[in-house]
Amino acid sequence: MPRGRAPTYDAQREAILAGAAKLFAERGYSDVSMIEVARACGVSKPLLYHYVRDKDDLLVLICEGHVSRLVELVRETIAEESEPQARLKLMIRRFVEAYAEARHEHRVLTQDVKFLTGAGKARVLAHEREVVAAFADTIALLRPEAGAEGLHKPLTMLLFGMINWMFTWLKPEGELTYEAMAPVVTELFFGGIGAVRSPVTAKKTRRKPTPKETLA
């Protein structure tokens, strides 16, 4: 009979993922070596490889763990609040909170996705799409006409832009906190969506380009 994993295995692994996330967030996935991850976590390199298959796996585990929690968070919020305005406000507040609690993981997710490959990349992107869709659907309920204008997806991405970009300029040791910024983002977005008038697509139907146009 196998002895099974040590009781400390899962905790140790979580500690390694957190330590690696911090290094990746600060210096980027490619510029951090496995020996640096190992040292930062107080383990030898071979022991690090006992917890993760390889460097790619480490990145996937960090990204997937974080994005899975985000998916859970939007599902819970949708289940518990059906009124669109209240739901979107709650989503924004919870997202900013979740990001603040997992700053390093979130930074890795936004800056190092391009290094993901294969099945891991597919899973992470699928989760991201679910999160974006949940926001876009709620915005569509708030502004039904935005859908016909092709606006609710772009509006969603502008909202994500405000939130995601915060983590490049807001320093955690600073006076300005993530909690203080959440209502500012909310007010700016709610105040703004009513004012957006420009349709983003001039045409609804897209012509097939003629061979001449394609070559030009």
Partner DNA sequence: CCTACCGATCGGTAGG
Distance CA 98, CA 110 (A): 14
Binding mask 7-46 for DNA (x = CB under 7 A): --x--x-------------------xxxxx------xxxx
φ/ψ of residue 81, rounded to 5: -140, 115
Q: Which residue, 33 or 177, is less far from DNA as judged by CB? A: 33
Amino acid symbol at 82? S
The pair of structure tokens assigned to 91 is 């989503």
Smallest separation, CB 108 to DNA (Å):
14
Distance CA 176, CA 96 (A): 13
When CB distances are held under 5 to 8 angstroms depending on the partner's kind, the choice from DNA, a copy of itself, none that residue 75 binds is none
Smallest separation, CB 187 to a copy of itself (Å):
5
> Which H/E stretch holds residue 88?
helix 84-101
Q: Using the rule CB under 7 A, is 129 a contact of DNA?
A: no
> How far out from the chain centre does Cα 103 lie?
11
Nearest one of 78, 8, 70, 73 to 43, comparing CA atoms:
8
Q: Which residue, 43 or 151, is less far from DNA as judged by CB? A: 43
Query: According to CB under 7 A, which residues from 55 to 84 bind DNA?
Result: 55-56
Smallest separation, CB 128 to DNA (Å):
24
Applying CB under 7 A, the residues found at the interface with DNA are 2-6, 9, 12, 32-36, 43-47, 49-50, 54-56
